[in-house]
Structure 1
């Protein structure tokens, strides 16, 4: 198999992951125990390893980081299995978190091995296809009245995706890329009309998902784009000038003609849910804004302080599965990735997570900082810290790995 074919298969496997996750959600929703998502990612990781070994591995800095990460987290999981006497089945379940996390490194690692054949233009087209699949996977079930809701029959529609916050992260990253493509219209990669349609559809998906973080971020980013085109965008041709006019006029007409009715209808369930929890939490704003994550964090800290031999747990953690089995919702899962990493894999795991983030930040600022790349990474850190479901969710870890691959290619072309 030639290198070109291996790369095409790799990009194809990335492109189809939303479809795989949708069908995986369909099987789960209708009570079928077909582990389609797990099988796909095991095959994907196996293919990455095969592709790299067949080409001849370059021992770069990310190669060393990948080896340290996989070795350390695997040893921690084995140590936990013996220390807590949890058995082989629980060890396999715990290793699934390591597999998901490894996608953050494996995808950009493969891309770096084949870096000469990748380009911003090529990955931009792949991003558009990914976005179309992600949007279709939410909007089509919504229109057909199928799928699941996060809270009840009226709030937080997530279709056949597994969790709300990880798919919200995916839509936000796609929204940022579409906005960046719009800004790059002086050297157009994708037609502006298609980008505008995708931008509005991404915002619509964030609206029906109904997450506070997703809606707030989407609105703030939209205001940034409007401000950018009004005050900072400078075009060299009448065509580009007309594009700016179209963008702003289209947005204004949408808000005037459909905005009020559309927003009130779509936001009614979100507002009702916000009002319900505000009453339930008795105006406890930190708990309301963090969706009780501050409470789960307090419970997790209490669990840790009461655990026997917590000096060892400080270094190696207790494991995701163990924590959930022991404590459930009272600190068994905080949904804040950095804290979940610490309580699950100890200070060693936390250092690994920080090292991964720092590695890609270093890539983004190497030989001249790229503001868009730095923004993507800083947003991811903030989102994972406050909202979670980035590094240990299969879907969002795949999106993060794809994003880091794109950052690498942007920087290589910039340099």
Structure 2
């Protein structure tokens, strides 16, 4: 009996070990998948890439794994399938231009986030491993290294197709790489503070990358993370009376960031944006001119997305009741070419409707409620540097998805947000802020 039990336990351990390795390898492969996808699109014009196949295969794996271990997840996926069929039938009848393949592709990309979130939640219940953060640091370091090498060699692609400065390295979409680095930056800083002094090299690489992109998101992420990390380091210094080098390093990076900012692509792009707005406002008349400061601030923050939001609002107001309830699908009721708002929460609402919006955000809302409840329940143990910085990554991800988009609607980005949310919930439940 004991021999059989030991043999069964060894087999079980082997299965878990294989699954963990697959998950770790998949996370480390993310920058490589993004790189191959970018080069395929830019150099060969191919939309169907090996990276797409690998991500779709892992989507199926994540879904099957989560359904196998959770009856609730199985029920949720069943509701999703029923909703999708109704959604397609309604839009086939009412949408001016309907493409089943485009609608299906968008639906899969959109719900990749929920599948990843539920998968990692179930995964961490059976695999309580702290190495997942080490794998994330490796992933961020790889992105930073590509950004530095491409920038130094002059082979990087521009972040913008006109005028503005900045580059995306050899990657494809600046908004997506910026969101990934913004969410991953707190994890890299955490590694530098708690794991290895070598991680400071990764911190510098990511800071360079966020500046190099030339986006406002990058600068905001740098400032927010460094301030919070500095405050937590000072808190630890006063509490433990040791670790004085860490706040000095963070303060140096913070000061260096603000000293470099006036010369960065971000500052030049913001000035260019404001100059263009002022030129447009000088030609305006009446109410628009009187509200110039408010219009400028909104346009600077949203980069013109408010105009596409107005278009979708108009589509929605004219849509039949069934589309209001089940959504207008990809791009709304467009007449010529689909165009997303690129503000994820609005895109989810208008594309999935009232019912779909609620269904989509049930897992996220459930996770967030449990996180807040456990923070309050286990406070002050839950107030640790680890939890604060991981929470910062989550907040940055959600904030970027609301203002700049390309988080919930991009599988290569939403995977990171789902991972951080599930990890944060698990580590808070451990009270200690650590995963064994």
| Residues 19-28 or 209-218, more deviating | 209-218
Q: Deviations over 1:27-86 (max 9, x none)?
A: 111133152232121111123345557xxx122544443443354235413432344385
| Residue correspondence of structure 1 range 16-415 to structure 2 within 5 A | 16-33=29-46, 35-36=48-49, 37-49=51-63, 51=65, 57-84=68-95, 90-115=99-124, 118-146=127-155, 147-152=157-162, 155-182=165-192, 185=193, 188=194, 190-191=195-196, 193-230=197-234, 233-234=237-238, 236=240, 238=242, 240-248=243-251, 250-251=252-253, 255=256, 260=259, 264-267=263-266, 269-282=268-281, 283=292, 284-285=295-296, 286-307=298-319, 310-321=320-331, 323=333, 326=336, 328=338, 332-369=339-376, 370=382, 372=388, 374-414=391-431
- What is the TM-score when the length of structure 2 is the normalising length? 0.79
Q: State the distance in 1 between where 2:267 and 2:66 align.
A: 50
Q: Which runs of 5+ in 2 are unaligned?
A: 1-13, 282-291, 377-381
SS of the aligned residue for 2:168 comes to strand
| Residues 14-23 or 65-74, more deviating | 65-74
Q: State the distance in 2 between where 1:220 and 1:49 align.
A: 34
Q: State the distance in 2 between where 1:288 and 1:52 align.
A: 41
Q: State the distance in 2 between where 1:235 and 1:130 align.
A: 32
Q: Which runs of 5+ in 1 are unaligned?
A: none
Q: Deviations over 1:231-276 (max 9, x none)?
A: 56436365x234444444x437x73xx9746851544642453344
CA 197–327 in structure 1, closer or farther in 2 if over 3 Å, else same: same
CA 203–366 in structure 1, closer or farther in 2 if over 3 Å, else same: same
CA 114–216 in structure 1, closer or farther in 2 if over 3 Å, else same: closer
Q: State the distance in 1 between where 2:227 and 2:107 align.
A: 38
Q: State the distance in 2 between where 1:52 and 1:18 align.
A: 25
CA 157–73 in structure 1, closer or farther in 2 if over 3 Å, else same: farther
CA 132–291 in structure 1, closer or farther in 2 if over 3 Å, else same: same
Q: Deviations over 1:179-226 (max 9, x none)?
A: 3445xx5xx3x20x2332222222221111111233123223323333
Q: State the distance in 2 between where 1:287 and 1:179 align.
A: 31
Contact 1:131 1:174 (8 Å CA) reproduced: yes
- What is the TM-score when the length of structure 1 is the normalising length? 0.83
Q: State the distance in 1 between where 2:219 and 2:336 align.
A: 34
1:348 Cα deviation after fit = 1.5
Contact 1:108 1:404 (8 Å CA) reproduced: yes
Contact 2:207 2:222 (8 Å CA) reproduced: yes
CA 81–159 in structure 1, closer or farther in 2 if over 3 Å, else same: farther
**Structure 1 position 5 matched with structure 2 position 18:** yes
SS of the aligned residue for 2:116 comes to helix
Q: Deviations over 1:147-186 (max 9, x none)?
A: 233233752322343322222111111112223445xx5x
